[in-house]
Amino acid sequence: MFSLLLLLLLPLATPQNILIILLDDVDDLAPTREKGFPNITAHFTKNGVMYNNAFVTTPICCPSRGSIYTGTYQHNHRTLDNTVTNGCDGPNWDKNIAPNSLGKRLQDLGYRTGMYGKYSNNYRGDKVPVGWDDWLGLVGNSQYYNYTLNRNGVNEEHGLDYKKDYLPSLILDAGIEFMQDDKSKKPWCAFLSFPTAHESFDAAPQHQKLFKASKPPNLNYPSFNKTGDPGKHWYTSSRPALNNVSAKYNEQGWIRRLQSLQSIDEGFVRILKKIDPQNTTIIFTSDNGFYFGEWGMILDKRQPYEVTVRVPMYASGPLFPKGSTQDTVVLNIDVAPTAIDVAKKSGAGKPKPGVSDENYGLQFDGTSMLSLLEAPKARNSFLIEYHGMGNGIDSNDSCAHINMRCWYKDNKVWYTEPKFDIPDGEKFCFCVDSRNNTFTCERRVNNNNPGIFTNFLYCSFSSGFNEYYNLHKDPFQMKNMWGTLGEDQKWEFKRRIGRIRECRGFEECNQLDNSGFDSDKPFRDNFR
């Protein structure tokens, strides 16, 4: 322990290069790790830290990316959903996200920075955002073919030619070129943000025949296709059961996801051959998880349940122990603080004159994963939050008319093999979102203490609905136990949420770990 503390306290002679790899809609299921990216998993298993309890604080793309870039909760960076109106690459983004991003902070510490791939769901290609010296930004949402890229301020169109247009390959090529360019002699940070494995899950041609017999592991979950549960908020409980078409789509989508991930896994091996792993910190994660039929959900993630909020999170580099598996709770809001901490601990120069942490408009709500190596129990509780999209939609009937998406023959569902054939006249539809699918949750993780208030999820929805799950006894979140709690216990859950709903900074946002639930029967007086 002493040697580890000394290592963390003493700056290294050479500032560490930093590589961040971000996937899209990738869950933390064991089959995904083992089949989707085995080389990546093997690298971190041997050379880094594998986190068993890694979560996102908002389970949807654009808000989660805002949290990854800035190290802050959604309620502070104010990207509320995937629309420009609610902050996704609109004026709010330009004000809150870009100037407070890890790219800008690392630039101010003397780093050369490069961003490659998906930046946000609504990036318009009209500028290179502040904070990035080299830029290859995807215009709009995740695509593999038929898209526009902004390359350092110049837009270029791409089509369906694998050798010229397959976006994961272009991201890898541009990132590797940046990492090998050492003319400036500066340390670098490369942020590789892949569309993989977002729908349409397009794999490289050489991978399109793999995993044909693989099935989603969720098919065996008690939550699979469990619809109509009155214990779930209406957005979940009203989801129609999978029909023959949607169930087959779900299963074939699982296969395509595994196929598409092979390019990332093979690309990672290429990267390791081109960089100096002894002088590079690598962080690997995803922006959120993904449903595979739980409660009838497919093509979705914007709910606070385990399969959508748990993500892979791995880290390696000279400041991280090798071959370590940690139960420490780490979050997407920890990525930016970790990058900055690595830069400073490894000898990065002082910030530019007049620039300090206080000069940034947003302060970190997360913390460095290096500090969590010293104090692994520093965080047990955290916030999960989301602001639902819609126009005051409060019922499934309204959603059926306003906010439905349907998949049918005319959609030409997938353009690449293996294609999905929807029979003529058949389709499947579901409600995409609703305004009152807005929630604030406390997720507490303490697997060493099996008390009913040590490993739980409590959620308060804007509709007034509440959900509480004891994850020791109910890991699949099948039984909403809110109605069984005493009034004093309900009051305490609501009070705790109220304390962190608008928190700012790690100390304030992490205060729940110093405030109770030490026994199975918390009462108001325990917290006064």
276-332 pLDDT per residue, tens: 988 999 999 999 999 999 999 998 999 999 999 999 999 999 999 999 999 999 999
Mean pLDDT of 427-456: 84
What's the start-to-end Cα distance of the chain, in Å? 36
pLDDT at position 87 over 60: yes
Contacts 24+ apart (CB under 8 A), 128-135: 128/152, 128/153, 129/94, 129/98, 129/101, 129/103, 130/98, 130/99, 130/101, 130/103, 130/104, 131/98, 131/99, 131/101, 131/102, 131/103, 131/104, 131/105, 131/106, 131/107, 132/103, 133/107, 134/174, 134/178
pLDDT at position 485 over 80: yes
Exposed, middle or buried, 282 (CB in 10 Å: 0-12/13-18/19+)?
Answer: buried
Q: Single out the residue of 337, 341, 289 nearest to residue 319, CA to CA.
A: 341
> Given this model, what pLDDT does residue 359 score?
77
pLDDT at position 8 over 90: no
pLDDT at position 2 over 50: no
Confidence label for 525 from pLDDT (cuts 50, 70 and 90): very low
Q: Single out the residue of 3, 1, 10, 14 nearest to residue 281, CA to CA.
A: 14
Mean pLDDT of 84-111: 93
Give CA–CA dist 227/235, Å, rounded: 11
Q: Is residue 511 within 8 Å of 499, Cβ to Cβ?
A: yes
> Given this model, what pLDDT does residue 386 score?
96
pLDDT at position 421 over 80: yes
Residue 325 CB neighbour total at 10 angstroms: 10
> Given this model, what pLDDT does residue 362 score?
92
Q: In this predicted structure, which of 155-164, 329-338, 410-419 has the lowest mean pLDDT?
A: 410-419
Q: In this predicted structure, which of 12-16, 178-182, 334-338 has the lowest mean pLDDT?
A: 12-16
Tell me which H or E stretch contains 282.
Answer: strand 280-286
Mean pLDDT of 456-463: 94
Residue located via tokens 């399109």: 208
Mean pLDDT of 241-251: 94
pLDDT at position 461 over 90: yes
pLDDT at position 472 over 70: yes
Choosing from 61, 189, 399, 431, the catalytic residue is 61
Sort strands 456-461 and 313-316 into parallel, antiparallel or unpaired.
unpaired
**Angle between the N-to-C axes of helices 167-180 and 244-274, in degrees from 0 to 180, rounded to the nearest 10:** 20
> Given this model, what pLDDT does residue 183 score?
83
Higher pLDDT, 125 or 447: 125
Higher pLDDT, 306 or 405: 306
> Given this model, what pLDDT does residue 453 score?
76
Q: Residue 59: helix, strand or coil by DSSP?
A: coil
pLDDT at position 112 over 80: yes
Query: For 495-509, what is each residue's pLDDT tens digit?
Result: 999 888 999 999 999
> Given this model, what pLDDT does residue 6 score?
47
- Residue 130 token pair: 């502040």
Q: Is residue 231 within 8 Å of 58, Cβ to Cβ?
A: no
Confidence label for 390 from pLDDT (cuts 50, 70 and 90): confident
61 is catalytic: yes
Sort strands 313-316 and 48-55 into parallel, antiparallel or unpaired.
antiparallel
Q: Is residue 139 within 8 Å of 151, Cβ to Cβ?
A: no
Phi-psi region of 36 (alpha: psi -120 to 50; beta: other; left: phi over 0): alpha
Q: Single out the residue of 261, 247, 79, 107 nearest to residue 191, CA to CA.
A: 107
Confidence label for 520 from pLDDT (cuts 50, 70 and 90): very low
pLDDT at position 519 over 50: no
Confidence label for 450 from pLDDT (cuts 50, 70 and 90): low
> Given this model, what pLDDT does residue 31 score?
95
Partners of residue 281 on adjacent β-strands: 18
Q: Single out the residue of 201, 269, 280 nearest to residue 16, CA to CA.
A: 280
- Residue 307 token pair: 């399969």
> Given this model, what pLDDT does residue 93 score?
93
- How long a stretch of residues is the chain? 528
> Given this model, what pLDDT does residue 5 score?
47
Contacts of 85 by beta carbon, 8 Å cutoff, 6+ apart: none
Give CA–CA dist 467/327, Å, rounded: 25
Q: Residue 444: helix, strand or coil by DSSP?
A: strand
pLDDT at position 449 over 70: no
Give the percent of the chain with pLDDT over 70: 89
Mean model confidence pLDDT for the chain: 89
Give CA–CA dist 246/359, Å, rounded: 50
pLDDT at position 516 over 90: no
Radius of gyration of the chain (CA): 22
* Helix ranges, 58-204 (H): 61-70, 74-77, 91-92, 102-108, 162-165, 167-180
Query: For 122-139, what is each residue's pLDDT tens digit?
Result: 999 999 999 999 999 999
Query: For 29-69, what is each residue's pLDDT tens digit?
Result: 999 999 999 999 999 999 999 999 999 999 999 999 999 99
Q: In this predicted structure, which of 106-120, 233-247, 437-451, 475-489 has the lowest mean pLDDT?
A: 437-451
